[in-house]
Structure 1
Amino acid sequence: LRQERSTIVSEGDVLLEKQLQFTKPRVAVTWSATPRTQVRLRIEREVGQLNFDDFVAPSSVANTGTVIAGNPNLSPQQAWVVEAAVEQRFWKSGAAILTLRHYELTDVIDRAPIFGPGGSVADAPGNIGEGTKDEVQASLSLPLDRFRIPAAQLKAQAIWRRSEVIDPLTLQPRQISGLRHMEWDLHFTQDLAKWKSSWGVDVNRGGSNANDAYGWRDRAYRLSEIETRKLDTWVTLFGEYKPKPDLSVRLELMNLTERSAQRTREVYAGPRDRSALAYTDVRDLRWGRMWNLRIRKSF
């Protein structure tokens, strides 16, 4: 059982000070059904961290034409989480894990209309009430010796998500803004001891930006706009040579799929609960293949 307490102070255009206090109970149980099979259960109350950027208005009006405001009266999102996981170990070093999670959310942070003086309306992060989220996560570590690929290993992980909240404008169910429905990665590596080398393939790892290493898709619901973003798969082929313990040479061929990033904006003539679609803006960016050579020497 944990107790969390904090104070938030806002100065400048909005003067605000408030105390936040949360009790966070947690129960976790582990059962080793066999020496190679383990079952884990967890029930916990989680409290999210507030993002400072949500308190202030970003200067993106010139780029999108959408007025986006901050919300200094924001409260942290809370969730009761129920989790069940099964881990199965096999062969000499193989393992598979399946995890199920269910979230009962309160004070969901999403985009919401903020009404100002004189009837003005802006788009800002806000607490929009209750919601739910479900996750299924699977991971696999597979040694490949049994498939006649010596000293090789395949690792993979995937997570699927679905969510539901009530849209504060349309009062209809929808997904949570910015939630990525699926993320996955795959990593193959093989050691070639005879040549003091190794090689492998990374799929959806190590992209041009650490935050964008995965291919993903999400959607954000704003006052007069629905924005959909999609980032395609990133593939890297690499090889590494270690002639000495203190010297390594690594060559990476990155973005073999020449992935693209797409942004689609469905812009309405006014608040989207009572306005017609004005136009759709689609932007598609594509990156070419790249290579990277790294020589590392230890002293």
Structure 2
Amino acid sequence: MKKEAGVYRSWKMKKDVEVNKLLQNDRKRQFEIQKLQRAQEKQQAILKRKSEEAAVANKRLKEALKKQALVRNDRNNNFERYDASANATKLKTLLEQELEVKVRVQEAKYHLKNLVEDRKTLSLELRRLKNSDPPTKKRITTDGDGSPKEVNISIIKLTDEINDRNVQIATLQSEIQEAENDKFKGCVETIRSINDSKVLLNFLIEKSIKERIDHNNDKSTVKDLKNNYVEAIKEKDSSEMKVKSLQNQHESSLVDLQQKYESKISFLLKQLQNGSEEEESPVPNGVHGAHNTFFVPDTLDVLDNDPDYHPDSSMEFDTPYMKVT
């Protein structure tokens, strides 16, 4: 009976060590899954933001083209009724709107390029899922365990996203083409006299000066932001070094504790095995009373009083000690 109890204790200690290792590996896997999910959420947010920015750019371009048409019609229909001062104001308004259209066209082209790149990435990912290739590092589409159901859901989502990109790309291309077909036409048609040319030239000079001043101010602001960024990076690197040092110390402490723990477990296992062997061997007359108590209790008392000994909470002992009868 006591031999079986010793074998059970030995088996339980080994299993406790195995369970602890499995729990640690499970925590690592959970951390990796959470990391992949965060990466997916981040990429989804980026794609959503790009799509929204493209929609805003398309809306601005439409509004600029609409306003441009209204300004042109107003000048062409009421040109004869304007005096010199009113004519100069209308010319400046028209030129301002022409410049606004050109800016919105360039903005739309920028977002069009991003949409085409996103569509290419989504198409490659869709092809990979359909061919069941290994997952890429660029994009993560499955939230689950890669089962056929999860893959089918991902394929449907990707197909919908690609269709949305196709609609946005076609709309932007149409608006850009409409704006570029009328390139500089409005400016040329508005110049009907030398006085108009002077008004437009003065306006462009004033506009250029203002834009250059704003540009210099922006450069100064960007320079300050870069300096602040460099300082922040230095502080971040310093903090990361401190954190890494603390992590190394923590890992070293964990390794030491693990080694001590395994060493003490090994010591207990040996004592249990020795106790089992003593149970099987005959006890000489006259020494039975001196050795009737197994010395594992003393060992356990020493381990309990050891401040460096931190047994795992999952390991339990049925009895504090065993006695040989």
Whether TM-score is above 0.5 comes out as no
Task: Answer with 1 or 2: which has the greater Rg.
Answer: 2
The structure where helix makes up a greater share of residues is 2
- TM-score for both structures, normalised by structure 2: 0.18
Which one scores higher on RCO, CA 8 angstroms, separation ≥ 6?
A: 2
- TM-score for both structures, normalised by structure 1: 0.19
